[in-house]
Amino acid sequence: MTKKALILIADGTEEMEFTITYDTLVRAGVSVTSAYVPAENDTNTGYTSPPFAKGSRGINILPDTYFSPQDATPDKFDLLVIPGGAKGAETISSSSPVQHLVRRYLEEGKFVGMVCAGSLAALTAGLARRPLTSHPSVKGKLEKDFEYSEEPVVVSGTLVTSRGPGTTFPFAFTLVELLLGKEKRAEVVGPMVFPANTFA
């Protein structure tokens, strides 16, 4: 049975975090869908065909679809991913349908991945205190309500959090391993040709 992942994207999403996660999951055989979350003041809200998302460093990415809460439920996907990038993470984490989905995914034992400022969604979704990491720039907002860690990737039940572009490869490999096992992880890492001892 093919595993399915939904990756959210917004204007200001960190394009490396988005791309590394999406591409790595596809390499593992996961069926990946990206869904555009409009900002609250986005005049395009309601379009059925998504506009492009303008990444945090100016790369324009065409999402696969427009975010629609009823098409994003945990019966349809095994994994929900929230990438970082300050403005993108703010848009995504402040969406109440996204907050609701984060809670439902975790309640139903499905995986939720958050990287960088994307970890703010753990706070806005009102998750119970648990181990978590994030980009250092948002540590101050999270350390009171969570067991804040500085590990590159933190797995807490089915919540997987990570720190930034520099930890997104191990974040994505951890998601592959949780969904499909250690062998699949090794199969995906090999052809990417990491320098010796990197992410080993």
Q: Footprint of a second copy on this chain (CB under 8 A)?
A: 14-16, 19-20, 22-24, 26-27, 32, 34, 52, 55-62, 135-137, 152, 163-167, 169-170, 189, 191-195, 198-199
Q: How far apart are CA 12 and CA 89, in angstroms?
A: 8
Closest CB 33 distance from a second copy, rounded Å: 10
Task: Determine the angle formed by the axes of helices 86-93 and 96-107, rounding to 10 degrees.
Answer: 80
Closest CB 100 distance from a second copy, rounded Å: 27
Name which of 18 and 111 has its Cβ closer to a second copy. 18
Q: Is 17 a catalytic residue?
A: yes
Name which of 105 and 169 has its Cβ closer to a second copy. 169
* Among 135, 143, 151, 177, the one annotated catalytic: 135
3-state secondary structure of 131: strand
Name which of 105 and 171 has its Cβ closer to a second copy. 171
* Among 15, 17, 90, 183, the one annotated catalytic: 17
* C-alpha to C-alpha distances, 63 to 9, 10, 17, 68, nearest whole angstrom: 7, 9, 14, 13
Name which of 13 and 93 has its Cβ closer to a second copy. 13
Closest CB 107 distance from a second copy, rounded Å: 30
Using CA atoms of 33, 38, 39, 45 in order, give the dihedral in degrees to the nearest 10: -170
* Among 14, 90, 100, 116, the one annotated catalytic: 116
Q: Is 107 a catalytic residue?
A: no
Cα-based angle 87, 133, 151 (whole degrees, multiple of 5): 130
Closest CB 117 distance from a second copy, rounded Å: 11
Name which of 106 and 180 has its Cβ closer to a second copy. 180
Q: Is there a contact between 111 and 160 (Cβ–Cβ < 8 Å)? A: yes
Strands 153-156 and 159-162 come out as antiparallel
Q: Is 135 a catalytic residue?
A: yes
Q: How far apart are CA 108 and CA 78, in angstroms?
A: 10
Under DSSP, the state recorded for 152 is: S
Which amino acids are annotated catalytic?
17, 116, 135
